[in-house]
Structure 1
Amino acid sequence: MAGASLYGQADVPDAPDVPGAPAGGGLPYGLDRLSNPWTRFLTRRLARLLVSVFVVVTATFLMIHLIPGDPVRAALGLTAPADLVESRRESLGLNEPLITQYVSYLGGLFTGDLGTSMISGTPVSEIIADRLPQTALLGSLAFLTAVAIAVPLGLAMALLTRDGRRRGVELGFTSTAAVMSAIPEFLLGVALVAVFAVSLGWFPVAGMSGASSFVLPVLALALGPAMALARILRVEALRVLGEDYVRTARAKRLPRRLVYRRHVFPNALTSMLTIGGLVLGAMLIGTVLVENVFAWPGLGMTIVESILQKDYPLVQGVVLVYGTSVLFLNLAVDVVLGIADPRSTIRES
């Protein structure tokens, strides 16, 4: 309402109410949602994901064009008839300008068309759909096994060695964990096969032929990351044990189990989530080596076979699946971390 001001001047008339406008002169309608930390957090993560996916897609497209010489000739062999080579180049669209090929490649991705295998003539998407479940199952079981080993082991070592106790136990654990986490998956797989499959005969040497055939591949993929996670979790748990709020809880003579359950374990596990995401991505890449050691019929064995056979469209498709899978796994871990520790979203925002 207009009227005289305290300084003898007329007040500016009140602005009319606008439907949907925020009260008090806030942000315009819709933009106020962007002030929410979760919204900004997810917006940044999704934008980063889109850029990363674009880079991966472009890199996989250029892969076949960076191969020295003619990739079709390399795949079919030097003795292949010229008309067959030309026909295969035409079917792959390699005679088109590069930008036209790129646009066609992007269009194919949106429709699920990843090209056709040079060797079998089967659509790449069908081959990947057939092999992907085996790799996903192996990676999931290995990750769950690594967590099942790392969490109790890391927390137990933190409680046993807190305040400088049991130096011998600490030295033995850290040394063993460092050695185990440094052994490549394929070497560990070969050692497991030599001992438990060849010498003792407890498990199958290779292949996917029942529940027992999962044991050695899962252990080969999980033991190294499990020891690395256990070391990290022990350090985080020791750090949390030294925090003031834990000391205060102890000073109040709260039951030790209650202090550990409410304060130590949740905070230590939250700190491990970020590293766990990196480990999960590394384990996914590690399936390439483990699958070839155990003749596991997944994407890892498929990509090695396609490289040896110079089946470049299949190599492109598998690399694209691995790359985008790692990116989406990292996004999922970031979201889980944001839910478990809302402070991380506020700090980033």
Structure 2
Amino acid sequence: MIILGFESSCDETGVAAVSTQRGLLAHALHSQIAMHQEYGGVVPELASRDHIRRVLPLAAEVLRKAGLSFADLDAVAYTAGPGLAGALLVGASVAQAFAWARGLPAIPIHHLEGHLLSPLLSEPRPEFPFIALLVSGGHTQLMRVGGVGDYELLGETLDDAAGEAFDKTAKLLGLGYPGGPALSRLAEQGDPARYKLPRPMLHSGDLDFSFSGLKTAVLTRSKSLQAEPGGMSEQARADLAAGTEAAIVDVLAGKALAALKQTGLNRLVVAGGVGANRHLRRRLEQALQARGGRVYFPPLELCTDNGAMIAFAAALRVQAGLADLSGTGHAFTVHPRWDLQDVCARAA
């Protein structure tokens, strides 16, 4: 079965073709970073309009790369939530239009399920069950993944997500949007031990996260440095960036290792945009190797939002018998807020 998947939940338009037998056939992605940089963040209305401009050319590009035509498709999939309502509606309506025109089933996919399963696109693939650390601009969660559709929430952030902490700190330091990658580049030139920053909830005894206290500490330190004669030096900015990154990585790694110990598992999957952070990758690889376990990451190009993870999640749900392939009726809705546990409930 060949599935064409659409992702448009925020500021990336992604389309991909996946075969249930052969895996990922082709994918294409357009990022809106350049457009949103002028505003310092995502503007929802502009994001929706740009998705409209990009989605059909990207679909044509994917089919061309894969050597397919519309007649070769057996199903379509799309991100139904969570995300920006207008942006979600673009991908959902285009996918449903394709499905209606060709008489194909349309499979709604939870955005976070796509991220959780995306490391299975790489080799070697992790076996179920595993612990998943989902870290992005909007989510920081630890999950026990027992299989497709079997997701147990172990812990999540009580306030800011890890990606938000990166971005907000970057803004304080005068870095551009998106802030996370810019902060990580600056941190390479800094001393992470120069400024003492908190590791919120690192020893809380549970698997929840909090990053608002770290953000406040960075803000306080930043103001004091700015007040010094001559303002904050470039080295101070680099040291503060390095200290922030180290604090975030310490918390993420500490909680992930605690989840492995609590569940008795030794396989960790890391997904979401922050999963591309080199410091985090190195820290987790060393820690898992020391305890005889293994950490798995999606390919770097698939860490951010993309169509491949949506089409692939749909393929896995088809193989698990969890997708409605009747192809009857094309009424649909999107879910800007959508608990992943709802997907588990329907799967059960």
- Structure number, greater radius of gyration: 1
Q: Which has a greater percent of strand?
A: 2
Q: Which has a greater percent of helix?
A: 1
